[in-house]
Amino acid sequence: MKYYEQFFIRRTHSICAVALLVAVSLLGDHLVSRNHEKHAFKAIVDNSTHFLIGGISWLIVCINTTFVLNHSGCLFQILLCGVIASIIDVDHFLSAKSLSLKDATNLKERPFLHCSTVPVVIFSCVFLFGNFMRSVTWRLNALVILVAFSSHHIRDATRRGLWFAPFGSTSLIPYPVYIALNCGIPYVISFILNCAHVRPTQDQYAYEV
């Protein structure tokens, strides 16, 4: 009986988190699209939306995996995912070599962190490093990085497509597909972790994947 009660609670939390993710996506994109001339406001809302989508995405992962992190461990990974998802936009300023928002948002080419080949390479390197060091913390952080980048890139892909250097770019991702992908990816990550038989120990980050 206790198992079914926990299952029901987890499913309820999961549905609420997905609903929140969709609501944040729709509201954020609506506010960005309505404020074409308010560049500062638009940039803040856009970046905040990336942060929230990244954080909520990892929240969904935490809810739907069989292991149980303590509250500080969950909060750390959720914040980490959100920060990475939002800090990606710093490459606009790096590419513009300027702190001017106007310069940063009027680049002729996409900045380097918006190349979808980059997160694949980073994820692979961090995950392989985690395997080499036998560190589950690094393996989980690799997945956090993957979720953060994918949430950012897929959202941007509704306007520009995904850019996989040196192979080129995809066509624009339809908006409903973007919503579906951002909601589905956390479940895919959860499925992978559950299939890997993640097992909690006394250490909040000591899992066997």
Residues 164-190 pLDDT 10s? 988 989 999 999 999 999 999 999 999
Q: Residue 15 is encoded by which pair of tokens?
A: 């549905």
88 is a domain residue? yes
Look at residue 205 and tell me if it is in a domain: no
What is the band of 204 on the pLDDT scale with cuts at 50, 70, 90? very low
In a domain, 204, yes or no: no
Nearest to 148, CA basis, from 66, 77, 205, 76: 77
Which of 200 and 36 is assigned the larger pLDDT? 36
Give the list of residues 6+ apart from residue 3 with CB closer than 8 angstroms, or none: none
- Is there a domain that residue 132 lies in? yes
- Give the pLDDT of residue 7: 73
**pLDDT for the residue 198:** 53
pLDDT at 4: 65
* Domain count of the fold of the chain: 1
Q: What percent of the chain has pLDDT over 70?
A: 88
Residue 186 structural domain: 2-195
Between residues 67 and 132, which one has the greater pLDDT? 132
pLDDT of 36 strictly over 80? no
* Structure-token match 């959860």, residue found: 190
Q: CA-CA distances (angstroms) from residue 202 to 121, 186, 187?
A: 32, 25, 26
pTM: 0.89
Higher pLDDT, residue 144 or 8: 144
Is 208 domain-assigned?
no
Residues 6+ apart with CB under 8 A from 107: 92, 95, 96
Q: Determine, yes or no, domain membership for 63.
A: yes
CB-based contact 173:184 (threshold 8 Å): no
Is 67 domain-assigned?
Answer: yes
Mean pLDDT of the chain: 87
- Domain membership flag for residue 96: yes
